[in-house]
A and B are shown apart, each in its own frame.
Chain A
Amino acid sequence: MTLETQRITQPDDELGKVQPRRQLEPGVTLFNRYLIQDVIGIGGMGSVYRARDLHFPNVVKLVAVKEMVNTAPDPLVRQTIVQNFEREANLLATLNHPAIPRIYDYFSEDERSYLVLEYIHGKDLEAVISETSGFLAEEQVLTWAIELCDVLAFLHNHKPDPIIFRDMKPSNVMIDYNGDVKLVDFGIAKTFQAGQKGTMIGTEGYSPPEQYRGEATPLADLYALGATLHHALTRRDPRMEPPFSFNERPIRKINPAVSLELEAVVNAALQYNPEDRFPSAEDMKEALMAAARKTGLLAKVTSHLVGPANNVKPLWAFACEDEIRSTPLYYQNTVFIGCYDNNLYAINAGDGKFLWKYPTDGGIVSKPVAFEDNLYFGSEDRRLHAVGVRSGKVVWTYYANGPIRSSPRIAEGHLFFGSDDQYLHAVNLNNGRAAWKFETSEAVRSTPFIAHEMVYVGNEAGDFLAIDFRGELKWRFQAKRAITSSPTIFGPMVLFSSLDANLYALDHRNGWVIWRFRLGKGSISSPCAVDDLVFVGAADGYIYAVDTKTAKEVWRFRTEHQVSSSPVIYKDALYCGSVDGNLYCLEYRTGRLRWKFASEGQIIGSPLVFDDIVYVGSTDHKVYALLA
């Protein structure tokens, strides 16, 4: 693997003139801190090493150390080289993106300068291409392409000036063990000033025509990305071919398994004239996503990626005395969660220390809700409990005629929740007295959703009801089986799933079914929606992502057992538990696995993410706090 950039204006033999240099031997410690372990790359100006950071004595923290040996005799050249190296360091230090390696340190010793970078466990794409027998799977290349567009968009939108990577090629794309891409070698990346001409820098075969004329624009990076994808899909190295000859090697002629749609996107990126390419990385990503949706490829991108190592360690774990099937609440630095040992626990969110517990006479599956100084939750002991947030002491209780498995919601000074007594209850927040009860035909385990001065809730008979604040039915919809799932409002739609194996989108004003999406099996998971996507789990073990406008599946992710947990979105990730015991973290746009955490029981409740920390309970009796 070579991490050094080949400069076209600077023929190789010029680099060859440089005196042979001594490589650092394994065992050498640099700067009293970095213990060199191995050489992982050799370039024109020095080597790249894997090293261990000795500032972390208790863990093995690996870093990549990029070395630049400056032996140029001309002082001006020497100075330029150092400046370039420093520029790379400074540039990297300002960039914060998951697909760009983090920089930890920069220092010089004698004529040598060093960059200390995040070590990427994985291989570069060139190695992946050459080591794969046959062609890489299209969906795999497509996912990487989408991620590369993401990082290019990030660079091109950099303020104050866009950053042009200028050297997109397989050997500068690392694939880590999670299957995620990282862009490496920012040695020649530079900020772009419109109208400015530069010298031709880049890699022949991958660089677009205008880069040979000294122009480097965001569109040049798109061409090089197209060239990289062409190489990955066809295994034909463009450095071995005449420049700009991609149209003489149509992708599908070489690899007929590639879809027309993806071929069209790559061809558009490879247009000779920059104005004929995609106008931006975002547009190219959009086109890739459209190709993926149309061919259903994203749906296939599930678990056959390089399996991520299950090295997610909880920040803390808190043990209760029985199974946890409920969802935690974060409020005032405290995690509140109900348990089947009949207690509601208050746990310090920072360190997982026990604060207090409040006993009821039944299992607690209801998620608590907090308002000012009080906490409200239902229990299978048929009561709704109002408890002081800090004291853990009872304020009042309200009796229903059946277990309360639905979670309360607060609106307009009232609590709304369902019970197995078949009623939807509206209770005054302050005194715990009933405002009204609405009778349905079966147990109400779904958690109501309140919006537009309406209460939306499902029941075990498959009724879905829209009730106004006075307790009067506005409209009703009938599914074929139970609606245990809790609804959510998204734009004009109210979304929920049912045990009849449909995800429904109803017009929230009148209950007409706008669309329904067929799931493999029934579902009690509650959907959540963001952007133009809705996510839900089902008993067939899949987590689904569905387009809210067209009801088309965008992707599905397979877990090993049924998904009763409800997905939650935090930043660019989706978190969801499965009865297979894992908590999954997926990239929500593509459904790609980021990481998973294995508990020792089933994860039935839903995770809660707050301030970059995920809290989730398991039937192994524990509550876990994990880094999001």
Chain B
Amino acid sequence: MIEFFRNLFRKPRSAVDMATTAPLTDQQIQSILHSQAVRYEIQQLVASTGQSVGKQRELNEDSLLAITSTLAGNSGSLPFGLYIVADGMGGHQYGEVASNAAVRVVAGYVMKKFSPYLFNLNPVQPEESLQEIMQAAVREAQKTIQHEAPSSGTTLTAALVLGQQVTIAHVGDSRAYHIHPDGRAEVVTRDHSLVKRLEELGHISADQAANYPHRNVLYRALGQGDILEPDIFTIAFPQTGYLMLCSDGLWGVLSDQDMVRIIKEAPNLHRACQSLVEAANSAGGPDNISVVLVQLIG
């Protein structure tokens, strides 16, 4: 009887069974080897930042923060880092107040939550999940900005690194990138901008988007609106590349290829950040520039 059913419902062998798999690229093999290698070194984060007011603005409305440490805990030493870029909205009053408040409140909230783990003799893990901490921090910042600088707004891209995971809270059109060693610049955040939305909806093409007249219009920003829904997610830290946070003063001016090339050619992270800023300024420097580069070594 069972044979009868088998025959009746027999499906052709799926194409997957018969397909030969494509050979792995060197990069993929490197990445696999890297992930399987037995490591004896303690993993640690290295970070650097770069910032410039640009060539055409008088005021810096960007804010950034980079905190890097290593936590010694019961599960060994753990890389810890908090990196934030915020871009106050020009045209709004107090753009710089908003971006500054965003960085201070978010960083303050997160560090307070980690304080018992970082600074107490008997480290206690926070009860909330990493995503909940980031969510609450953004909510605090939203409240503060609405109170301190009403009607202003700012973007916020904050990355909390713990071990090999990055938890990201994101609002607006600053970006987080994975810079892969094979030269890919992968955007891991989604711009909350009108132009990106139109592109996502298929109304305009990527080429049209690049020349869209209202490229700076955001549909979601910290400090704006009653209900704020930040994007919060956790991804693996790029093991063999870099994590980069930046404002649109950088990514809006330099192409992906340019950014990757500058990072690869630089002798160290510090130089890479300075060169990125210089390149954006050489290209006209139309806006404030902020960049944070982070690497996991060991």
Contact = CB atoms under 8 A, between A and B. Distances in A.
Q: Is the A/B pair a real complex?
A: yes
Contacts of B128: 513
Given A510-B163, A513-B129, A492 B2 contact: no
Contacts of B203: 268, 271, 276
Interface string A264-295: 11011001000111110001000100000000
Contacts of B231: 550
B129 A511 contact: no
A512 B130 contact: yes
Contact of A268 (B9, B202, B235): B202
B236 interface: yes
Nearest to A286: B200
A589 B200 CA distance: 22
Contacts of A350: 1-3
Contact of A549 (B130, B202, B233): B233
Contacts of B255: none
B7 to A, nearest CB: 12
B187 to A, nearest CB: 15
A135 interface: no
A1 interface: no
B130 A510 contact: no
A161 B193 CA distance: 38
B128 to A, nearest CB: 7
A509 B129 contact: no
A505 B165 CA distance: 12
A551 interface: yes
B74 interface: yes
Contact of B165 (A264, A504, A514, A550): A514
Given A315-B2, A475-B75, A510-B75, A515 B235 contact: no
A513 B202 CA distance: 37
B131 A514 contact: yes
Contacts of A474: 75
A511 B76 CA distance: 11
Nearest to A516: B129
B263 interface: no
B5 A315 contact: yes
B2 A515 contact: no
Given A507-B163, A514-B129, A515-B130, A96 B11 contact: yes
Nearest to A283: B202
B131 A515 contact: yes
Contact of A475 (B74, B129, B200, B232): B74
Contacts of A451: none
A627 B9 contact: yes
A454 to B, nearest CB: 11
Interface in B71-88: 73-76, 78
A612 interface: yes
B201 interface: yes
A603 B202 CA distance: 47
Contacts of B148: none
B171 to A, nearest CB: 14
B130 A351 contact: no
A57 interface: no
Nearest to B43: A509
A160 interface: no
A491 interface: yes
Contacts of B9: 612, 627
A351 B129 contact: no
B235 A549 contact: yes
A267 B202 CA distance: 10
A56 to B, nearest CB: 12
B248 to A, nearest CB: 23
B27 interface: no
B264 to A, nearest CB: 27
Given A315-B1, A627-B9, A516 B132 contact: yes
A507 B164 CA distance: 9
Nearest to A333: B2
A551 B134 CA distance: 13
B75 A511 contact: yes
Contacts of B3: 350
A512 B234 contact: no
Given A315-B5, A507-B165, A510-B163, 18 more contacts: A264-B201, A268-B201, A276-B203, A350-B2, A350-B3, A466-B75, A504-B129, A510-B73, A510-B162, A512-B130, A512-B165, A513-B129, A514-B129, A514-B165, A515-B132, A551-B129, A611-B6, A613-B2
12 contacts: A96-B12, A475-B74, A492-B165, A505-B129, A512-B165, A514-B131, A515-B130, A516-B132, A550-B131, A551-B129, A551-B131, A627-B9
